[in-house]
Structure 1
Amino acid sequence: MKKYLLIIALFVLQTIFSQNNTSTYYFIRHGEKIDNSKNPDLSKSGHERAIMWNDLFADIQFDAIYSTDYKRTIQTVSPTALSKNISITKYNPKATETFKKDNLGKKVLIVGHSNTIPSFVNQIIGQKKYSDIEDDVFGNLYIVTLLDDNVSSQLLKLK
């Protein structure tokens, strides 16, 4: 009888832990760009920042990587996507409910812009906590964790 109770208990625990509804989102802005044209490439500093992000995220097992459809965002996330063998998915920063549903229980990297990233984070957490990123700031990392109805967010300011 003890053996059967142990097997049932292990099955219940395995079921509970395999249904992980924790979603973790890592939001970053694109790296430095070469100019202020509509769709510029990254500058040398921007490419160096892209490598820095790749190094920073080396130990994180992402399930998905999202980018807006601009050269600077795609170039920023490309080293990480290549090193993790994950394709880059284009996204609409205004479609937060669909995004949350599609990424339930996943670890996701999202790359956007000085105005779209804070706005997207605010929509995900359901409060206006973060303002637009200053034009000369490229090292903000927003980490949002969702577990059922519990939401936490933090902002790390890297150089």
Structure 2
Amino acid sequence: MRFLTAIIATAAFTFIDTSVQAAGEFNGCKDYDVFILRHLEKDNDGTKDPSLSKLGKENAKKLAELTLFSNIDHAFYTPYKRTYETLEFIEAEKNVYDPSQPQQLVRKVKDEHCGETVVIVGHSNTVPDLVSAFGGAFTVSYAGKSLGQTPSVSLSEKDYGSIFRVTFHNERLHQQLYQLNPKGQTKVQLRK
């Protein structure tokens, strides 16, 4: 059982840290920079639409102070308080999106925000689909060998602060994964 848990944990969160892929199927917008993250720490108040916890609110302030987020042009959030509150301190125009329609959001970003830097806040079960919709790729490997299939990925309910970056520039797709340090430290590290 421990062995299976290790495989699932590895498979569920193996992301190509800094990969570059040929553009292939991208039409229209030839330049975008998208940051995608799950909302920050939420209050466990038993409601369907909780606000951020005290730590989540502190981290939202720190997130907005990061150099990485200093030039955000536009931000998107779902119709839940915790996603808006994650973006609250980021200086950018903000709009709500439907988390069940990731392709619709991708079209909107490419059609209306081409050439801009965008941040999107979602949920543990929607962030991986958004990353994939913008061209990011997750891989599953075992013993150093790729299983060669597209995995079904969901973030852990305890995963707060993973920032997925998908950039399309000069006909190339770049992806990076950053981690907002636990306990609200302002330093962002490239997760290796």
Q: Which moved more, 1:128-137 or 1:29-38?
A: 128-137
Q: Secondary structure at the match of 2:134?
A: helix
Query: Residues of 1 paired with 2:78 and 2:167: CA distance?
Result: 21
Residue 125 of structure 1 aligns to a residue in which SS? coil
Give 2:65's match in structure 1, choosing from 50, 55, 66.
55
Shift of 1:59: 6.0
Change (3 A) 1:77 1:59: closer
Task: Determine if the alignment matches structure 1 residue 90 to structure 2 residue 96.
Answer: yes
The structure 2 residue matched to 1:135, chosen from 157, 163, 179, is: 157
Paired letter, 1:114: S
Match among 139, 155, 159 for residue 177 of structure 2:
155
Q: What's the TM-score, normalizing by structure 1?
A: 0.75
- When residues 110 and 59 of structure 1 are mapped into structure 2, their CA distance, relative to the original with a 3 A threshold, is closer
Query: What are structure 1's unaligned runs of at least 5 residues?
Result: 1-19
Q: 1:145 matched to which residue of 2? A: 167
TM-aligned CA deviation for residue 98 of structure 1: 3.3
> Post-superposition, which runs of at least 4 consecutive aligned residues in structure 1 deviate over 3 A?
126-130
Q: Is the aligned partner of 1:46 residue 2:52?
A: no
The higher radius of gyration belongs to: 1
Number of residue pairs matched?
136
**Which structure has more RCO (C-alpha within 8 Å, separation ≥ 6)?**
2
SS at match of 1:69: coil
From the two aligned structures, give the one with the greater helix fraction: 1
How far, CA to CA, are the matches of 2:136 and 2:159 in structure 1? Answer: 24
What TM-score do you get using the length of structure 2 for normalisation? Answer: 0.63
Give unmatched runs, 5+ long, in structure 2: 1-28, 140-150, 182-192
